[in-house]
Amino acid sequence: MKRYIFIIAALTALIFTGCSNDDDRPVKTPIDPLTDIYGVVTDNQGNRLQGIVVSDGYTCTATDENGVYQLTAGEFSYQVYLSIPAAYEVPMSEGLPCFWQKLTEGRKRYDFTLTPLAGGAENEFNLFCVADPQCQNTTNIARFNNETVPDIAAQVAASTLPCYGITLGDIGWNTENTDYTNDVFPLMKKAMQMDKVGLPLFQLMGNHDNKVIAVSKNDYTVAHDIAAQRNFEYIFGPVNYSFDRGNVHIVAMDNIIFPSHKDYSLGFRDDQVEWLRQDLSYVPKDKMVIFCVHIPMRASNNQNVQAVLELLKPFAEVHIMSGHTHYAENNTYDSHYEHVHGAACGAWWHSTINTDGTPNGYAIYKVKGATIDNWVYKATGFDPDFQIRLYRGSDIFMEGYTPSYQFYYKGDDQIVANIWNADKDWKIEVYENGTKTGEMKPYESNATKRDAWASGYHCGVQGRAPGNYDRTNTSHLYYYTLQSSTASVEVRATDKFGQTYSQSKFTTGLAEDFPVGE
């Protein structure tokens, strides 16, 4: 019997290594009488760790030479958590990153234990970014489990580098009138466990992850905004947090001002800006910052967006990872590069593509030192080198359905390519009968930038509303006029890293090419 008791106790200790509880570690630093939250941070050998950043989501501090931190709680403090240092493992519990503890009334002390990485901080690693799983029911979750999850796991298994991941919001799909949290979040939590996806997958909040709390703009307060995030925090942890891998500081933030599901906007509260300022104050300026949010920031003047971008400017390299749109877009701005990711659910699980024709999928970023060395958008169910869909301009998509569409460039001798991960630095070449005849050009500014195949399927075949499913401002469409309309055609696209992708198969409006997903 004593042997079994010992085993149970040992297992319990392992479970709480990440989301640690208090233990018998003596507090060697005097605790200020005004301190509401304090604790000791050690490694798994009991060594006290100095300089570990700890936060309650509103203020940040660092542990002293005795491994002790002290915080004064704010009005809305809900959890206390670490910014995981680069040289330590990601603490895990129930298959997900667990670097926080929920604050409980009458308790002030919260200790943490970190385990050093066997080889020290990783100079190279892969970061998987998964935007908008957006599951509302068991049918959606089944597709996520059967399509997205094994696809991610296979890419992790094939990698020779350490792999980490983060979702980019809208894990669930709450609406104006219906809260699906209790039905969806527990099942999605299981779906995203490390034994299924193969990597530690951090979570980020999207607008559809907010609790159903509706107030008018006139009645909106910070308290409403914070109340709407509590269900997410309870299941997945903090909504504003950071962690380090290698020479990279990765930040995740809720960038939604949320009176209701019907009336929300891009932005940051003042307290969030102050939290970020404090968090970044501990980060050397020669690090790269990867800033993860749900709604694309671009160069917006929405509430406090410019203040956040100013805080990011001093760092060596800045990449913003976002989702929300259900289309893909890559853009360079003065202070940052923003990657707007196609959704894992595509057009809300109605097909296998997003509204702009980007396949359902996710991105994989190869990080080396303080830069992103390469990246690919990985289409779910396809090889990683599937990066181009090719069309003939004269085809009708989908003929016999209403509405049907053609591409803007519709000549018999014209072709169109959708290259969803492209940006201004890509080179798109055309070969006719094996000979290079020219380069494709981005759509002209006055062109209707529609993927006619995607719109034809969603609006024509499925009868969905053009307002949501007919995107006419896609940024990654290219056109070319062939020298011979009867030539054998190959399109080669070379990215900024020198990787070349090719496509010679034309996608048609025939049923055999429909992106059927349900």
| Residues contacting residue 5 through CB under 8 Å, at least 6 positions apart | none
Kindly state the average pLDDT of the residues 321-345. 96
Q: Looking at domain 388-513, which CATH architecture does it have?
A: Sandwich (2.60)
Q: State what percent of residues in the chain have pLDDT above 70.
A: 95
User: Residue 14: is its pLDDT beyond 90?
Assistant: no
Instruction: Name the one residue in this structure whose structure tokens are 């890559």.
Output: 330
- Residue 90 pLDDT exceeds 90: yes
User: What pLDDT is stored for residue 161 in this prediction?
Assistant: 98
Predicted local distance difference test score (pLDDT) of residue 15: 39
Can you give the three-state secondary structure of 319-345, one letter per residue?
EEEECCCCCCEEEECCCCEEEECCECC
Domain limits of the chain? Answer: 1-45+52-75, 125-379, 388-513
The span from the CA of 363 to the CA of 193, in Å, is 19
* For range 131-138, the mean pLDDT: 97
Whole-number percent of the chain with pLDDT over 90? 90
Residue 25: which pLDDT band, with cuts at 50, 70 and 90?
Answer: confident
Question: What is the model's pLDDT at position 266?
Answer: 97
Query: Do residues 287 and 315 touch, judged by C-beta distance below 8 A?
Result: yes
What is the rounded distance in angstroms from the CA atom of residue 244 to the CA atom of residue 239?
A: 16
Average model confidence (pLDDT) across the chain = 94
231 membership: H or E segment, kind and range: helix 230-236
pLDDT of 349 strictly over 50: yes
What average pLDDT does this structure show over 367-376? 98
Q: Using one digit for the tens of pLDDT, what is the confidence trace for 94-118?
A: 999 999 999 999 999 999 999 999 9
What are the start-end ranges of the E strands in 131-209? Answer: 163-167, 201-202
Does residue 31 carry a pLDDT above 70? yes
pLDDT of residue 5: 38
Cα of 275 vs its chain's centroid, Å? 21
Rg from Cα positions in the chain: 24
pLDDT for 17: 44
CB 415 within 8 A of CB 480: yes
Topology (CATH) of 125-379: Purple Acid Phosphatase; chain A, domain 2 (3.60.21)
Q: What is the mean pLDDT of residues 162-181?
A: 94
Q: Which residues contact 4 (CB under 8 A, 6 or more apart)?
A: none
* Mean pLDDT value of segment 282-295: 98
Q: Is 60 exceeded by the pLDDT of residue 303?
A: yes
- pLDDT tens by residue, 382-410: 999 999 999 999 999 999 999 999 999 99
DSSP string covering 261-291, please?
SSS-EE---HHHHHHHHHHHTTS-TTSEEEE
